[in-house]
Amino acid sequence: MTFFAQRANLLVYQGLPFSQVFRFDEPDPTAPQYTQPLDLTGYTLVGQVEAQPKVKAYGIDILADPPAPGLYVLALVYMGVTYTMEIEVLPGETAKELQEKILKALKNLDLPLSACAPSCADAWHIVAAWYWPGVEWSLDIVSQPDDDLDIDVQQENIPLLEFAEAAVVDGDYTKVTLTLTSEQTAGLPMAGDGPLRWRLVAVNDINPQDVKLLVCGLLMVART
């Protein structure tokens, strides 16, 4: 992820339309002492409002005992980096042994990740969660010899709503306008629930792991 320096806190009035303009530039590659409008060609703008962050967690279920022998390949993606885990199950090995191998593979990544079984007697399930709330990461099955392994999101950060975005080049800057309708702001929780988070990113149309974080901050909701 590419980070830009802007941070802004927004004030939205419940039931009223909202609009905010931001301007972005970047160094001119032909003359670094100058700037040019931020080039967003090949990127899609995504502006989102989110509630207080949660810890994102996955559940890993082993569906057969014994599981099919062969190679189980998992992929964990964090900050645009893919960590691949290859786990071999030998003929006759049990679900408990596969569970232990998955736990060991996750631990060997040396990431701030907690992975454990719900209980010592549970040989069929693993819960993997990041240590800190608000961190975006993913865990998926790349390949397996049969359908004996399943991975599902158990808890994640779901956006409350999305801004409408419009971008135009305006002189030396790229001007981005974010808007919310009165219907959208009417559905936002009041300030007593704590400030909301918001962010604007640009996602590469070909490689969704290539993300530019343009601006982020807190969003406060007030009564009209």
Chain position carrying tokens 């406060």: 220
Confirm whether 2-53+158-222 and 57-155 share one CATH topology: yes
Nearest alpha carbon to residue 12 among 187, 201, 214:
187
- The predicted-structure confidence for 75-127, as pLDDT tens digits, reads as follows 999 988 999 999 999 999 999 999 999 999 999 999 999 999 876 666 789 99
- The predicted-structure confidence for 8-43, as pLDDT tens digits, reads as follows 999 999 999 999 999 999 898 888 888 999 999 999
In this prediction, residues 66-77 reach a mean pLDDT of: 96
Nearest alpha carbon to residue 200 among 20, 42, 12, 18:
20
Where in the chain are the domains?
A: 2-53+158-222, 57-155
Ramachandran angles phi, psi of 129, nearest 5°: -140, 145
**Distance, C-alpha 53 to centroid of its chain:** 11
Which amino acid, 37?
P
Q: Does domain 2-53+158-222 have CATH number 2.60.40.10?
A: yes
Give the pTM: 0.62
Q: Which CATH number fits domain 57-155: 2.120.10, 3.90.930, 3.30.70, 2.60.40?
A: 2.60.40
β pairing state of 43-50 and 31-37: unpaired
Task: Using pLDDT thresholds of 50, 70 and 90, give the confidence band for residue 52.
Answer: confident
- The predicted-structure confidence for 132-173, as pLDDT tens digits, reads as follows 887 889 999 999 999 999 999 988 877 889 999 999 999 999
* Res 29: pLDDT: 86
